[in-house]
Amino acid sequence: MLTGERWYERCRRSLVGGGVCLMLLASCAAPAPPPSPVPKRSTFLLIPDPEGKVGHITVTNRTGTQVVDQHHQASTVQSADHAPSPPSTLEETEIKRIFGETLAAQPAAPARFILYFKDDSEELTPDSEVLLAEVFRTIRDRGAIDVSVIGHTDTIGTRDYNYQLSLRRARKVADLLVLQGVDRNILDIESHGEDNLLVKTRDQVREPRNRRVEITVW
C-alpha cells in the first residue's frame, strides 16, 4: 500500500492537471497515523508448583508493578504504557482453555540418585544395590534419552588415583545398567575424582558420603 507521502510525490510529478492533484492532496493532507505498536497484551498467572507450593512473581513495567502470590491469580498488562493490573482470579475452565495444551507439554523434572561405594572399591554398598534397581526402573518408565553418570571419591590417595577410581565406579554403574537393558548410548559417563566432594574434608580423609556415583535421569 502506498503511504500518503508517496501519493503526494506521484501526484506532484504527474502531468495530470492541478485539479486532480489538489483533490488527491486533500485526501493526503491527513496521512494515516503511524501504525500503532502491536499491543502484545500479556497475562501472567500463578499456579501451585508440582510440590503444591505457591511462590510469587513480580510483574513490572515502566508504569507500575504488581506482586502475584496467590494461586490461580493473574495480572494482565495491556501494553508497555499500562500498569500491570491488580491480581484477579482466573477460573479453572479458563485456565484449561488457554494453557491446557502448554501444561500437557511440560516435561518431568530430572530424577537424581546417589549410589555409595565401599572403601577404595567399585563395589556398591548393599543399600545402593537396592537403589540401583529403582534407577533402572526410572530410566525405563520415563523412556529416558539422557542419563548422566558421574563418579566421585573421598580424598584418601592421590588425585590421579582417585580420578581412575571414580571412573571405574561410574563405568561399573553404567555396566550394571546396560546389563539390565539400558541402551549404552544414552549414558553419559564422567569422572570427577576427589575434586567435587559432597562433604567437604581435608586431604586424606575417609568419608563414605564422598565415595559415590551421582546419576541424573533427564
Name which of residues 103 to 122 contact another protein (CB under 8 A).
103-110
Three-class DSSP category at 128 = helix
* 86 scored as a contact of another protein (CB under 8 A): no
* 22 scored as a contact of another protein (CB under 8 A): no
Q: Which is nearer to another protein, 11 or 135 (CB)?
A: 135
Q: What's the per-residue H, E or C state across 118-174?
A: CCCCCCECHHHHHHHHHHHHHHHHHCCCCEEEEECCCCCCCHHHHHHHHHHHHHHHH
Q: Which is nearer to another protein, 49 or 127 (CB)?
A: 49
Please state, in angstroms and rounded to a whole number, the distance separating the CA atoms of residues 126 and 118. 9
Please state, in angstroms and rounded to a whole number, the distance separating the CA atoms of residues 38 and 47. 28
Contact 63, 83 (CB under 8 A): yes
CB atoms within 10 A of CB 90: 19
Amino acid at 72: H
Please identify which residue in the block is written with the cell numbers 494453557.
Answer: 99
* 13 scored as a contact of another protein (CB under 8 A): no
* 188 scored as a contact of another protein (CB under 8 A): no
Choose which of 28, 59, 147, 173 interacts with another protein (CB under 8 A): 59
Q: Which is nearer to another protein, 96 or 118 (CB)?
A: 96
* 57 scored as a contact of another protein (CB under 8 A): yes
Name which of residues 142 to 171 contact another protein (CB under 8 A).
145-146
Stretch that binds another protein, among 21-29, 100-108, 117-125, 207-215 (CB under 8 A): 100-108
Pairing status of strand 187-191 against strand 147-151: parallel
Q: Which is nearer to another protein, 7 or 44 (CB)?
A: 44
Minimum gap (Å) between residue 142 Cβ and another protein: 10
155: which 3 cell numbers?
Answer: 580424598
Please state, in angstroms and rounded to a whole number, the distance separating the CA atoms of residues 162 and 205. 13
Residue numbers at the binding site for another protein (CB under 8 A): 38-50, 53-61, 68, 77-80, 82, 84, 95, 98-99, 101-110, 145-146, 218
